[in-house]
């Protein structure tokens, strides 16, 4: 007899502070959009999600509010998160009556309450079953690290709102630290720098654009000029200036130093045997924030360990989360009675979380 679970889709979601990615096995990464929701503030109705909503950030008329529902890696606005998930789940699987199984990665340091909030939002958004896996494990799997290895591996994920540093061995997290600073803090630092140096106000998106175009962890020899448009702080009139990447490297030095400091702290606490492995194998970086040119070299020079950027650093976490999908197939086919199934589900979920 045909079993409904044969038709049930399994999808992996990276619910980030900056972007949401969705992966389906066999299809790859099918969604990569900003985690932004635009809402009518009078009616509470969602107007747009993702790319469309991001265009509205910072330029919305009075009645429209464009917000990021995730902050510091966790849900800051439950209602918008649920709506955003519903939109992306629907966009990924299209019209179907069969609800999908969903695997979502979450930061390793979040509380039980925050975990439950993610599970609940996913359920309300239309998931059949939801499984959570810890982000550093997902990042490592996606970066091609064999996480079941007894030797240690150092994984650094720099997202929009957070940086997660973890040492992984034998399928688990040995030590980790999460810093509420990531790529977005660099944008803020650029905004502040330009305000201080040129008396000029720029928007959030302009700051990110400057970063993506000319930021560098070191002052650059081939220093090129980049035109920046904004508003004069005193008289409010439109102005433009030219900034250099050396300016911007100065601007973002502080947040980058904080990230480097966090990696150093994790290394200081790593057990000696594992630390020796790390020196041999090097560290791997994932997340959009690691793409600032020269950050890998700067980090390397500060920690004395080779630092590599994962292949496809932005999609590594969701691809790693996607690999956990194979566990779900096994789980579905091994389910029997309702109670046994429930118990097994809990056990599997715990195993999934702990020991991929």
CA distance 94 to 91: 6
Distances (CA, A) of 134 to 223, 308, 322: 40, 21, 13
Nearest distance from residue 252's CB to ligand ADP, in Å? 10
CB nearer Mg ion, residue 16 or residue 230: 16
Among Mg ion, ligand ADP, none, partner that 83 touches (CB below 5 to 8 angstroms by kind): none
134: left (phi over 0), alpha (psi -120 to 50) or beta: beta
Stretch that binds ligand ADP, among 55-63, 153-161, 252-260, 273-281 (CB under 6 A): 153-161
Contact 175, 254 (CB under 8 A): no
CA distance 21 to 319: 9
Nearest distance from residue 152's CB to Mg ion, in Å? 22
Among ligand ADP, Mg ion, none, partner that 19 touches (CB below 5 to 8 angstroms by kind): ligand ADP
Q: Exposed (0-12), middle (13-18) or buried (19+): which is 161, by Cβ within 10 Å? A: buried
Q: Exposed (0-12), middle (13-18) or buried (19+): which is 156, by Cβ within 10 Å? A: buried
Among 69, 142, 152, 160, binds ligand ADP (CB under 6 A): 160
Among 9, 16, 104, 139, binds ligand ADP (CB under 6 A): 16
Binding characters for ligand ADP, 183-202, by CB under 6 A (x = yes)? xx------------------
Q: Assess 152 for contact with Mg ion (CB under 5 A).
A: no
Helix H or strand E segment including 260:
helix 253-269
Cα within 13 Å of Cα(71), Cβ side: 7
Among 16, 34, 152, 230, binds Mg ion (CB under 5 A): 16
DSSP code for 217: S
DSSP code for 95: S
Count of residues engaged in binding ligand ADP, rule: CB under 6 A? 20
Among 72, 208, 296, 332, binds ligand ADP (CB under 6 A): 208
CA distance 136 to 286: 10
DSSP code for 212: H
Binding characters for ligand ADP, 264-293, by CB under 6 A (x = yes)? -----------------------xxx-xx-
Binding to ligand ADP in span 121-150, by CB under 6 A: none
CB nearer ligand ADP, residue 33 or residue 348: 33
Nearest distance from residue 228's CB to Mg ion, in Å? 27
Interface contacts to Mg ion, rule CB under 5 A: 16, 159
Residues that bind ligand ADP (CB under 6 A): 16-19, 159-161, 182-184, 208, 211-212, 215, 287-289, 291-292, 314
């Amino acid at each position: 007899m045909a079993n409904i679970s044969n038709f049930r889709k399994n999808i992996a979601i990276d619910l980030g502070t900056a972007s949401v990615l969705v992966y389906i096995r066999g299809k790859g990464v099918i969604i990569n959009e900003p985690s932004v929701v635009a809402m009518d503030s009078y009616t509470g109705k969602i107007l747009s999600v993702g790319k469309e909503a991001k265009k509205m950030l910072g330029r919305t008329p009075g009645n429209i509010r464009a917000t990021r529902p995730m902050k510091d890696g966790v849900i800051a606005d439950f209602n918008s998160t649920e709506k955003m998930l519903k939109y992306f789940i629907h966009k990924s699987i299209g019209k179907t009556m069969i609800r999908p199984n969903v695997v979502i990665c979450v930061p390793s340091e979040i509380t039980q309450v925050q975990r439950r909030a993610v599970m609940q939002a996913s359920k309300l958004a239309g998931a059949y079953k939801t499984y959570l896996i810890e982000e550093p494990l997902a990042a490592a799997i996606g970066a091609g690290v064999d996480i079941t290895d007894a030797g240690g591996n150092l994984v650094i994920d720099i997202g929009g709102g957070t940086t997660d540093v973890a040492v992984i061995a034998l399928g688990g997290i040995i030590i980790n630290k999460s810093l509420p600073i990531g790529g977005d803090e660099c944008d803020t630092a650029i905004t502040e720098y330009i305000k201080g140096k040129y008396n000029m106000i720029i928007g959030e998106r302009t700051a990110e654009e400057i970063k993506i175009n000319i930021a560098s962890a070191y002052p650059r020899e081939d220093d090129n000029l980049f035109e920046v448009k904004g508003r004069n702080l005193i008289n409010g009139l439109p102005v433009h200036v030219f900034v250099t990447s050396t300016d911007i490297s100065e601007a973002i030095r502080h947040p980058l130093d904080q990230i480097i400091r966090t990696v150093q702290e994790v290394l200081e606490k790593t057990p000696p045997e594992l630390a020796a492995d790390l020196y041999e194998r090097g560290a791997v970086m994932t997340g959009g924030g690691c793409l600032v040119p020269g950050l890998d070299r700067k980090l390397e020079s500060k920690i004395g360990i080779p630092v590599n950027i994962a292949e496809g650093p932005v999609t590594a976490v969701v691809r790693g989360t996607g690999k956990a999908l194979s566990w779900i197939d096994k789980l579905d086919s091994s389910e029997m009675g309702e109670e046994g199934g429930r118990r097994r589900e809990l056990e599997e979920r715990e195993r999934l979380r702990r020991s991929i």
